[in-house]
Structure 1
């Protein structure tokens, strides 16, 4: 069977800066030479996100400037023991959860050693190259290069055994613990550090692909990010296997058939996805969080930015259990719990939009009427000790699920998707705060028991969300809103405790939308193909295919979605999410 194409490498074509980007080390060195050989003394600073291969820079950049004074800022970093003591409160003893760091990068360096490096730069003549993570702490740079790195690539390097955490020799440590340290500490600290650098850097260096570097001028980068906030765009999706993963995405999205399954796809999680930008014949890959950090108001809108700061609050991702198994039975923390325990601003409210389902598929949602909390928790603890399987049929509602159903999951509601479902998860952005209660007796792909968090979970389960309440408030709360020639609009959620509003549009002709000053996130949940354009011609038309998630920045304002190509003559549907005012 032939399926609609799914674009796994969407790009933003930046206008007007074709000559501002370079590919390959030779062209990159030539471009740098035009800046560093024009005066008697020049300080070239190459600051790096952790995960950039410093040996690649040393071999391909520093070696080309043989007479330069070379200074690696990381020689001034505090030792591993000191850092571990400093971060103990953030890292905790848990494999999965920590506390968000508010540290500044300078705290990770020995002040006297940093001062000594600054003195060395001041006394040097000719070309001085300061490089490494935090290099701009030594000198602001006469020429500043920022070498960025997408988080998904960082994780791949960790999994391959190449990369530990920054400042720690922990290559063999449990991957969950390494990810925890990156999530709660490193990425917070380095996003804080890099934001002002990206606003003034002369060049951005992309070394995501080994030995295939690319570089773009800072001016072009910033212009490209600004352009992106004036048009629809997609981030680069990534796919990952899991113990419960299915086969639907593998078939529909033309993924690697050699993989046993695919469980997840992050199709719109800007904190972890990449953004591809094309400058002429050069493609640059950057973390998509960069557009959030540098263009938050145009992207998010004034009200959303005022509420969340430079964070993208809406998450779209896929969960595939078609031909797979049940997800872990779980619950997410209430707002006050996630704030007090983990330092997060807001919690992981969710919903399951059923993109497809096999006959007999169910969603586990809420407790059965009459469930006694102590009885269910006792049963879960026995299951965690391996004494018996959890009696899900006794305690948990199993609700039939079919294509285009929408299940709302405010924090505190026990839930999971059953086997045989393809879920589009439309949720608030915090995404690792899942308290697993029961994982059906499975091991993870790493061969280790998947962690459960019954003590956390018991603190946040809302036991009033029983069978009647769930059916009244969380299952297919679909209401007609408006209709016109060739289209109709429905409200599908989310629950009043969740800040996201979702609307579904069924259409066979053009539908006009408006951001109303806030970012919109949409997915084409029915139909082969559609075109997004501006009634006033403000941006180039943008084509989307079935199941693709796309972002409409707040600054876009009015936009129109029309069946297109193979979608012409079909009834299409989009689901749109935004932050309620």
Structure 2
């Protein structure tokens, strides 16, 4: 199928929107309409034949040697920015947001469908993350490595990136490179895009973290989570740093019925802001003000989108002071925005691109183009009844004590009980804390403390060292574990998230 035919076929999925498409159900075979005829060419080959490229195994499903070439999604995005096109499309000059849309809604989906079939029978695995320096291992060794990862806690490879709102706290405290003026956000605990490092002797390879879910989804996620979400990791942690920067965008996430009907997603982006670091100026915008005038708010947002005025956010939206340890819950449909001078640990469901920006303080993106605004979609999903009184009663520091012991205090901090499937528990540990997985994969972050060790009470996995601010994952096959403090400070605090 040529490029024009492909574009016609996927037009309803790709859409004309700069950011959002519809999740595809296509498989790669559908883009090789004559693949059955093409296969006949290789049924009785003469001499050495090498078939390479995306979908090569469709043309030769039983090769003598199968090599799978792989690339982490973050590296794909960097290559989009540098001019790489989407698969089978000559769109090198298209802006990176549109390329990412093509990858997210189309390319990565049908590629992973095929990858799931090929990983168990590949002969060799080729890591292509470093240009002109590929690294290859035996396919069986990759599978053994992935199986070893999920016998204990593990971390994904984080990545940090520049943002329009700025942010300098992570740069200093995580000792990041000076190559960028700021690091406003980080994915540290987003298996959909993060990768894993695996070492074989002196060779270190990098593989997409999603490979774990392609080969052992139930062991990673747990039976109940897999039954509900399939082979998708439903939790994510990321950082938003606005210290010495500006506000995040004022935004809304789509309701479940909306995201399903319009974008083909099975669940939506419920989330929360856990305040990792704060200053006296820190704040979170959350919910509309009591008795807000809907028509005036909508009219002013439309005028701001047209450049006729600067939207007066504090006239219509609550602005609450934020301090370290506060937890703001943000079910889909709630208007919100992180303020400046704050470091946020964002805990949310995985559909992370579905943000309807309604006001972005008149900024342009790092590419010097206007940042996408989706005002109609935002207003269609905004829940007007979530006003000042409701937000205070339901979404701010909704802390419930779970257990009070001499060495450990456990509190439930969220998320919104009637709306969100994620549960978060805060463990205040003086010496050692006991953890249960609640029948779900766990995602955790040590939000206070310097160093601790995750241990198995039965010796089933090696001790796993964690440090301040590091997100780590405990697979569901580990039903219980301990976290022991390794420093002399009074306590450490670990935030635990799981599917309830």
Check whether the contact 1:436–1:452 (CA below 8 A) recurs between aligned residues: yes
What SS does structure 2 have at the residue aligned with 1:122?
coil
The unaligned stretches of length 5 or more in structure 1 are 1-77
Counterpart-to-counterpart distance in 2, 1:570 and 1:274 = 34
Counterpart-to-counterpart distance in 2, 1:442 and 1:407 = 25
What SS does structure 1 have at the residue aligned with 2:101?
helix
In the other structure, the counterpart of 1:59 is: none
Instruction: Give the aligned CA root-mean-square deviation in angstroms.
Output: 1.0
Shift of residue 241 of structure 1? 0.7
In the other structure, the counterpart of 1:183 is: 104
What SS does structure 1 have at the residue aligned with 2:328?
strand
In the other structure, the counterpart of 1:431 is: 352
The unaligned stretches of length 5 or more in structure 2 are none
Number of residue pairs the alignment of both structures matches: 498
In the other structure, the counterpart of 2:453 is: 531
In the other structure, the counterpart of 2:27 is: 104
Counterpart-to-counterpart distance in 2, 1:457 and 1:329 = 10
What SS does structure 2 have at the residue aligned with 1:554?
coil
Shift of residue 115 of structure 1? 4.1
Shift of residue 509 of structure 1? 0.5
1:82 aligns with 2:2: no
In the other structure, the counterpart of 2:493 is: 573
In the other structure, the counterpart of 1:93 is: 16
Counterpart-to-counterpart distance in 1, 2:193 and 2:152 = 21
Output one character per residue of 1:72-118: Cα deviation in whole Å (capped at 9) or x when no partner: xxxxxx1111011000000111100000000010111241xx34542
Per the normalisation by structure 1, the TM-score is 0.85
Counterpart-to-counterpart distance in 2, 1:394 and 1:211 = 55
1:442 aligns with 2:329: no
Output one character per residue of 1:423-458: Cα deviation in whole Å (capped at 9) or x when no partner: 000100110000000000001000011111111111
Structure 1 residues 445-524: aligned runs within 5 Å: 445-496=366-417, 497-524=419-446
In the other structure, the counterpart of 2:264 is: 343
Counterpart-to-counterpart distance in 1, 2:249 and 2:296 = 20
Counterpart-to-counterpart distance in 2, 1:266 and 1:116 = 44
1:269 aligns with 2:204: no
Shift of residue 570 of structure 1? 3.6
Counterpart-to-counterpart distance in 2, 1:201 and 1:261 = 41
Shift of residue 144 of structure 1? 1.1
Structure 1 residues 117-156: aligned runs within 5 Å: 117-140=38-61, 141-156=63-78
1:382 aligns with 2:303: yes
Output one character per residue of 1:529-558: Cα deviation in whole Å (capped at 9) or x when no partner: 000010111001000000000000000111
What SS does structure 2 have at the residue aligned with 1:446?
coil
1:352 aligns with 2:273: yes
Counterpart-to-counterpart distance in 1, 2:387 and 2:205 = 50
Counterpart-to-counterpart distance in 2, 1:286 and 1:552 = 18
Shift of residue 119 of structure 1? 2.6
In the other structure, the counterpart of 1:299 is: 220
Output one character per residue of 1:157-181: Cα deviation in whole Å (capped at 9) or x when no partner: 11112x1111111110111111111
Shift of residue 274 of structure 1? 0.7
Shift of residue 373 of structure 1? 1.6
